[in-house]
């Protein structure tokens, strides 16, 4: 049944693109076979960037699901190094060696690709994707759309129900504020051998929340004082021992998967991608066997507890302008598919949070074996506002790199919170403008 629905969607897109081809200015007609679009019997092979294929099944899933409804179109994956992806894909685009389709891992470099004319205008595809794909607007510039998102991660708080029981603390029943989270971490810390919480070393684990949740916070204002309360709180939690300090995380190269998965910490704020990872690691034995759930990430204050605010960048697919024009229609069909509810349902069934949201997608997500079924986990998944970690601008990457330096300096006590923020503001003013 699922494949029947997806086939219908694919045919509809093909028909629309074919109709556009038949309405060319010179009045000539063409068929899909004439254009080599892949809508007819002509075999078409598209290439697409990807990374970590052994542990990241979403790329092959999208390729296989699309091929199932478009048997004459094959999507071949071109694997890159996950840690160096943005650098490598940028180099390949410049050298004319990039694949036909490429993944925009987050929003940080989207403006660079778009401004550098490294993306095809896919507004015609976007028009047919549907309102359920709420992340599509992030890829719009001057009224045109330049990529189609297929996943939209957000951040949750994961909690170990078994450790809560051991500490004699009731399981959470709803969203909480950051101050309540800190109190809870200290209580857990007092009653357990494990730490109350774990915060990974990434700047996003703190700055992402501060930017998304603080009223009036603006990455491009040059004023980063909104970060101060978040750093003050984390430093206090490190001081009390409620969470492992930043220097230890860095020096010992701790991984968040091991800290939560081997019950070294009772709570952890992490992206929604960790749901699938934890399920897989518990199944393989890499993570220990314990009961867990996830709740909304802590909030700035109690005004957003009913609709919690979190952050996260979507992941999208764009078309390389150097693609063979004969393959363009097939490439656009693929983009229409990855942004659809059918692709979202398929992604949800492997534990990925798709960009397209609907009741059917939620149902598919919670059908995954091993996924918590409690009401709070379902509330966290389905009710939230996710704001971008990297608002779109040509200045985004430069500002974030400066703030990353400040993040390390503050959390290693190299500078005070006040001085670290002041230095970042001065650098942005001098280096970015």
Can you spell out the DSSP letters for 373-397?
-SHHHHHHHHS-EEE-SS-SSTTHH
Whether residue 37 is predicted with pLDDT greater than 80 in this model: the reply is no
Q: In 3D, which of 420, 1, 5 has the Cα closest to residue 225?
A: 420
Position 187 pLDDT exceeds 70: yes
Query: In the structure, what pLDDT confidence band is assigned to residue 280 with cuts at 50, 70 and 90?
Result: confident
Continuous segment of H or E residues that includes residue 317: strand 314-319
Q: Count Cβ atoms below 10 Å from residue 430 Cβ, excluding itself.
A: 9
What is the average pLDDT value for the chain, to the nearest integer?
Answer: 90
CB atoms within 10 A of CB 174: 13
pLDDT(3) > 60: no
Closest CA relative to residue 104, chosen from 315, 297, 287? 315
Distance CA 279, CA 372 (A): 10
Q: What gap in Å lies between CA 65 and CA 59, rounded to an integer? A: 10
Burial of residue 223 (CB within 10 Å: 0-12, 13-18, 19+) is middle
Contact predicate 309/387, CB 8 Å: yes
pLDDT confidence of residue 393: 92
Per-residue pLDDT at 36 exceeds 60: no
Q: What average pLDDT does the segment 416-420 reach?
A: 98
With residue 180 as reference, give the H or E element that holds it. helix 178-191
Helix 178-191 vs helix 228-240: crossing angle, to nearest 10: 10
What would the pLDDT profile of 318-363 be if each residue is shown by its tens digit? 999 999 999 999 999 999 999 999 999 999 999 899 999 999 999 9
pLDDT of residue 56: 86
Q: What is the pLDDT of residue 42?
A: 86
Cα–Cα distance for residue pair 118/132, rounded to 1 Å: 27
pLDDT for the residue numbered 48: 98
45 pLDDT higher than 60: yes
pLDDT value of position 432: 95
Please compute, for residue 96, the number of CA atoms within 13 A of its CA located in the half-sphere on the CB side.
Answer: 2
For range 15-38, the mean pLDDT: 33
Q: Residue 93 pLDDT > 80, yes or no?
A: yes
- φ, ψ for residue 97 (rounded to 5)? -115, 10
pLDDT band, very low/low/confident/very high, at 40 (cuts 50, 70, 90) = low
Q: Is the confidence at residue 13, as pLDDT, over 60?
A: no
CA distances from 222 to 100, 119, 216, 321, 388 (A): 38, 29, 12, 35, 18
Q: Residue 318: helix, strand or coil by DSSP?
A: strand
Residue-wise pLDDT tens digits, 97-128: 999 999 999 898 999 999 999 999 999 999 99
Contact 388, 309 (CB under 8 A): no
**What CA–CA distance (Å, rounded) separates 148 from 328?**
15
**204-229 pLDDT tens trace:** 999 999 999 999 999 999 999 999 99
Query: Of 146-160, 350-364, 398-412, where does mean pLDDT reach its minimum?
Result: 350-364
pTM, two decimals, is 0.82
Task: Tell me the helix, strand and coil percentages in the chain, rounded to 5.
Answer: 45, 15, 35
As a whole number of angstroms, the distance between CA 225 and CA 204 comes to: 16
Measured CA to CA, the distance from residue 57 to residue 304 in angstroms comes to 34
Distance from C-alpha of 123 to C-alpha of 147, rounded to nearest angstrom: 9
**Strands 314-319 and 148-152, sheet pairing:** antiparallel
Give the pair of three-digit tokens for residue 198.
Answer: 């774990």
């Amino acid at each position: 049944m699922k494949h029947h629905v997806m086939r219908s969607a694919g045919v509809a897109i093909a028909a629309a693109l074919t109709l556009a081809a038949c309405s060319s200015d010179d009045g000539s007609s063409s068929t899909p076979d004439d254009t080599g679009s892949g809508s007819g019997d002509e075999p078409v092979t598209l290439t697409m960037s990807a990374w970590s294929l052994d542990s990241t099944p979403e790329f092959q899933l999208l390729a296989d699901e699309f091929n199932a409804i478009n048997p004459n179109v094959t999507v071949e994956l071109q694997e890159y190094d996950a840690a160096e992806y943005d650098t490598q894909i940028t180099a390949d685009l410049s050298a004319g060696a990039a694949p036909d389709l490429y993944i925009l891992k987050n929003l940080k470099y989207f403006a660079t690709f778009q401004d550098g004319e490294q993306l095809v205008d896919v507004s015609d595809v976007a028009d047919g994707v549907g309102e359920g794909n709420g992340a599509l607007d992030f890829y719009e510039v001057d009224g045109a759309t330049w990529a189609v998102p297929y996943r939209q991660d957000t951040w949750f708080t994961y909690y170990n129900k078994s450790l809560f029981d051991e500490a004699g603390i009731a399981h959470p029943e709803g969203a909480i504020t950051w101050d309540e989270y800190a109190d809870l971490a200290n209580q857990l810390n007092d009653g357990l051998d494990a730490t109350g919480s774990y915060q990974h070393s990434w700047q996003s684990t703190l700055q992402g929340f501060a930017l998304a949740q603080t009223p009036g916070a603006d990455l491009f204002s040059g004023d980063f004082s909104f970060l101060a309360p978040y750093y003050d709180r984390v430093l206090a939690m490190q001081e009390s021992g409620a969470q492992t300090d930043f220097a230890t995380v860095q020096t010992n190269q701790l991984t968040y998967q091991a800290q939560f998965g081997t019950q070294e910490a009772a709570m952890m704020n992490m992206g929604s991608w960790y749901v699938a990872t934890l399920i897989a690691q518990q199944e393989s034995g890499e993570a220990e066997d314990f009961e867990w759930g996830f709740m909304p990430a802590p909030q700035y204050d109690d005004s957003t507890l009913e609709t919690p605010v979190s952050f996260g960048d979507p992941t999208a697919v764009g078309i390389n302008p150097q693609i063979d024009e004969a393959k363009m229609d097939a490439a656009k069909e693929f983009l229409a598919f990855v942004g659809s509810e059918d692709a979202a349902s398929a992604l949800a069934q492997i534990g990925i949070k798709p960009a397209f949201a609907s009741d059917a997608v939620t149902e598919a997500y919670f059908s995954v074996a091993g996924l918590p079924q409690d009401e709070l986990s379902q509330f966290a998944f389905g009710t939230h506002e996710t704001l971008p970690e990297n608002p779109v601008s040509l200045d985004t990457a430069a500002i974030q790199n400066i703030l990353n330096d400040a993040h390390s300096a503050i959390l290693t006590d190299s500078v005070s919170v006040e001085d670290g923020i002041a230095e970042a503001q001065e650098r942005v003013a001098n280096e970015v403008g």
